[in-house]
Amino acid sequence: MTGVVRKVIIIGSGPAGYTAGLYSARALLEPLMFAGYMSGGQLMLTSDIENFPGYPQGIGGPEMMMELREQAERFGLEVQDKNVERVDLNSRPYGVWVEGEEYRAESIIICTGAESIWLGVEGEEAQKGRGISTCATCDGAFFKDEEVIVVGGGDSAMEEATFLTRFAKKVTIVHRRDVFRASKVMYERAVNHEKIEIKTFKNVSSWLSDENGLTGAVLEDSRDGSKENIDCTGAFIAIGHKPITKFLEGQLETDSSGYILHKENTMTSKEGVFAAGDVVDTRYRQAITAAGMGCQAAIDAEKWLESQH
């Protein structure tokens, strides 16, 4: 085992994790965070955050994450950019394994967020990174003056499509219904863009490619099953996310989709184990709500630790 038993270990480093780190550091709990090899979470892949109060001109995702981290570190949050391999939530103090080293903590705050879902249709695996992506911010610039498609009808799809107009000649949004989950403002920004076309009632049934990479997709009509081909050299899948909970190996109660369940305030099914942000949240999933929940989890952990002594 490595060192002393910590009062709090925070796993994950999006807005929920850094806010939990800030609050628990200010409560003198000397928190240790395992931020992951790619610290900062999904917002590291977001170009502009326009809806976080306090930034009238907006702010870049990576920039905000750096500032959140700096703020929490100023009050004593210790951050290690490493992944947690597994945890033991069956005996206290709880165990956390990182690069083969064992750490122990009286309480744990899980803020590991969520990751993109892929379509899983024929031809996808081979074209990942050769034309098919889940991150326009990361890969959009590869498609200058080319035709790309974006799959999905939520805010992510609208955001990706609008961002891709900076590079692509044409962006087609492919959605399986004619009702959009996206917020009105983001839908309208996309639908009114001269480079964006929207195809409704279409599912991608397979991807088409040649030796140079992606060349198109077969679209199947969700009403009558008819098929058509669409040409594209890039495709961005924006159909939602799934929670990152594999390292828990089923030790906490979750819903049927794997999202961690809260039992009392932000406490999970294990005493002293708290969860915040997208790993819990199936409804709001915003940077501001994740940050708010990270604050709640830190306060709940502090009060729970007090009650133990």
Active-site annotation holds for 139: yes
Location of structure tokens 């379509």 = 119
Give 144: exposed, middle or buried? Use CB within 10 Å, 0-12, 13-18, 19+: exposed
Is 152 a binding residue for ligand NAP by CB under 6 A? The answer is yes
Among positions 182-211, residues that touch ligand NAP (CB under 6 A) are: 203
- Nearest CA to 190 out of 156, 235, 147 is that of 156
Is 239 a binding residue for ligand NAP by CB under 6 A? The answer is yes
Backbone angles phi, psi at 52, to 5 degrees: -95, 115
CB of 19 to ligand NAP, least distance (A): 18
Query: For residues 131 and 272, which CB has a smaller minimum distance to ligand NAP in the complex?
Result: 131
Report d(CA 13, CA 17) in Å as an integer: 4
Quick count: other Cβ atoms within 10 Å of Cβ 257? 9
CB of 275 to ligand NAP, least distance (A): 18
Active-site annotation holds for 135: yes
Stretch of 1-9, 10-18, 72-80, 234-242 contacting ligand NAP, by CB under 6 A: 234-242
Is 144 a binding residue for ligand NAP by CB under 6 A? The answer is no
Query: For residues 8 and 59, which CB has a smaller minimum distance to ligand NAP in the complex?
Result: 59
Please identify which of the residues 48, 88, 135, 231 carries the catalytic annotation: 135
CB of 286 to ligand NAP, least distance (A): 6
Residues at the site binding ligand NAP, with contacts judged by CB under 6 A: 51, 119, 151-157, 159, 175-177, 181, 203, 238-241, 285
